[in-house]
Copies of this chain bind each other. A is one copy, B any other.
Amino acid sequence: MGVAFMKSRGTHSRQEPSCLSCPIRALTVYLGGIGGNAGEVLKFRKAWRRVPRKTVFVWENEICDEFFTVHRGWAYCYRVTRDGARQIVQFLLPGDCVSLTALYRNRMYFSVRALTDLSLCVFDSVAMSDYIHAHASLGQRLEEFWLRESFLLSNRLMDLGQRSGPQRVARLVLDLHHRMTARGIAKGRTFEFPLRHQHVAEASGLTAVHVSRIMSALRDRGVIDLDRNMLTIRDSEALSDLAGISSTEATYQTVA
């Protein structure tokens, strides 16, 4: 996690990591909480795989019988409209599993693309499903993950349905910062922000051009600062005020 691996597909020379010492294991469905056994999981892990940035590795409407966990880097799930418009459904950070979906049916309803260079833990989805369901507490944890997923999706729905462009952007930034912090990847108010305007746009239902104007305005007003993929929240007060964080969200956000 500490090691940089930005461009260079040549770097990234880490050894295949073990689940036992994985710093993000507590975030996963299968190793978080009390029920997981890292040794056992490691035994049926199929592979540890690297994916260069911009690569699509799960395709909407196609078969996928693997279950992934993001080990390092960023990715995102998206779907595309019949006439080509893309909607980013979710950004994936280290510790996030790429698709609970694969546990049930292998026909995916979204695509997944690496945003940065990525490393993934790969499992056979049936094996993972069997493992989870063999441990009652993991099954319960899995269901809570679904609950959380629905909650997060409904948050996004609120954003797209009821909030202005600047609000959507502010909320996206805060959300990512919050998640990065929760995983210990971000420490203070500055954190890695590898999204292009186009990504922000596709996530928030705006245009890249308009996102540019919004972010420029935020920068001019001294609310945020963005330099070389590092984003700094300068005026946290102003940002969350703009975002209009509600108490409901604050409550649920602590879930992970």
Contacts and interface: CB of A to CB of B under 8 A. Distances in A.
Interface residues of A, dominant DSSP: helix
A57 B60 CA distance: 38
A204 interface: yes
A194 interface: no
Residue of A61, A202, A246 with most partner-chain B CB within 10 A: A246
A103 B79 CA distance: 30
Interface in A45-90: 60-61, 79, 81-83, 85-87, 89
A44 interface: no
Interface string A167-203: 0000000000000000000000000000000000011
Contacts of A139: 133, 139
B85 A147 contact: no
Interface string A89-132: 10000000000110111010110000000000000000000000
B157 A157 contact: yes
A254 to B, nearest CB: 12
A247 interface: yes
A163 interface: yes
Contacts of A247: 61
A132 to B, nearest CB: 10
A15 interface: no
A85 to B, nearest CB: 4
Contact of A81 (B83, B147, B154, B246): B246
Interface residues of A, number: 48
A136 B161 CA distance: 38
A1 interface: no
A150 interface: yes
A153 B163 CA distance: 17
Given A146-B149, A157-B157, A161-B203, 8 more contacts: A79-B154, A79-B158, A82-B244, A82-B245, A109-B248, A143-B146, A150-B150, A161-B205
Interface of A: 60-61, 79, 81-83, 85-87, 89, 100-101, 103-105, 107, 109-110, 133, 139, 142-144, 146-147, 149-151, 153-154, 156-158, 160-163, 202-205, 244-248, 251-252
